[in-house]
Structure 1
Amino acid sequence: MSNAFDDLFAANADYVRDFGLAGLEPVAARGLALVTCMDSRIEPLGTLGLKPGDAKILRNAGARVTDDTLRTLVLATYLLGVDRVLVMPHTRCKMASVSSDDEVHDGIARTYGVDTRSLEFNTTPDQRAALRHDLERIRHHPLLPADLPVSGAVYDVDSGRVTPFEE
């Protein structure tokens, strides 16, 4: 019987043959933490001219600054060389195309029969307001340095352009 992951393990065998990241330090060489969406149309390193080891990449649905994102930023700031944070949601995001978490919960229940109401999806129809809110969560978190540079930008999935967020 074929394993659902055989293709990935075979690809890894090819990757190992040319592996060049041995000895890479665990710190963010360029001091960046990037919070972005899990959307597979985003290639965070190439998008920002980075290479492996340059940044800590935090990905989740909608590029939202959740409690877990904040926990990770605290660790990255004090232990992994992060000295600046960029939050980068994107255009045509599914989490910004619905009016509420209830809409997502109802759709999943209707289509798959699964009750997801124990989860918060942090959907928002106003992506700019959500980004502004998320930037403020980082800027005012009591465990992060008060002078930590924090900025936002929006990635366009159709052009690859990153546009700085004007607050």
Structure 2
Amino acid sequence: MTGDFDDLVAANEKYARDFSNSTLGGRAARTLAVVTCMDSRIDPLGLLGLKAGDAKILRNAGARVTDDVLRTLVLAVYLLGVDRVLVMPHTDCRMAKSTDDDVHQLISDEYGMDTRSLEFHTVPDQDAALRRDLLRIRTYPYLPDRLAVGGGVYDVHTGKLMPVDM
């Protein structure tokens, strides 16, 4: 790695000196998977009262249930002890403030890059997108009917999780 990562390497050296998670296994100790956004304001373990090893954390822009999230959930359920899934988008999300066309145009205008072959999964209606994503997990043929699936919106300004009923 180049000097651009010196701060991270130094932080890791300090972390490794006091590392205490070497006995953790690969299974989710609290049988939970969390699908959330990549937004750096979200601390999924902290806000849910979890610790390392408790849950599988899946992050992407907008906390969307994509094909790759479904693939990962199949592995988490059958190989890693997951029997419940929380889908947790958040307030003040950039993906909820734009359309895919808006994002393509912005990137083209500011960087000269044509990204139209990508689907960004923006969420102009966050509530509807969350409900659709929850239904997508519940009806996915490779996931068991016994899988508990829930959703909630995390408020990045208050730290509160607001459950969504289906």
**TM-score, with structure 2 as normaliser:** 0.98
Same amino acid, percent of matched pairs: 67
Matched, 1:115 2:125: no
- 2:7 maps to which residue? 7
Give the Å deviation of 1:166: 2.4
Give the Å deviation of 1:124: 1.6
For the residue of structure 2 that corresponds to 1:4, the secondary structure is helix
Q: What letter corresponds to residue 101 of structure 1 in structure 2?
A: D
- 2:74 maps to which residue? 74
- 2:162 maps to which residue? 163
Measured in 1, the distance between the counterparts of 2:117 and 2:145 equals 33
Q: What are the superposed Cα offsets for residues 34-73 of structure 1, whole Å, 9 maximum, x if unpaired?
A: 0000000000000000000000000000000000000000
Equivalent residue runs for 1:92-111 within 5 Å: 92-98=92-98, 100-111=99-110
- 1:50 maps to which residue? 50
Runs of 4+ in 1 over 6 A off after TM superposition: none
Measured in 2, the distance between the counterparts of 1:124 and 1:32 equals 24
Give the Å deviation of 1:17: 0.5
- 2:140 maps to which residue? 141
Measured in 2, the distance between the counterparts of 1:124 and 1:164 equals 18
For the residue of structure 2 that corresponds to 1:82, the secondary structure is coil
For the residue of structure 2 that corresponds to 1:154, the secondary structure is strand
Q: What are the superposed Cα offsets for residues 77-135 of structure 1, whole Å, 9 maximum, x if unpaired?
A: 0000000000000000000011x201100000000111111111000210000000000
Measured in 2, the distance between the counterparts of 1:15 and 1:150 equals 34
For the residue of structure 1 that corresponds to 2:62, the secondary structure is helix
Measured in 2, the distance between the counterparts of 1:149 and 1:14 equals 38
Measured in 1, the distance between the counterparts of 2:118 and 2:14 equals 38
For the residue of structure 2 that corresponds to 1:74, the secondary structure is helix
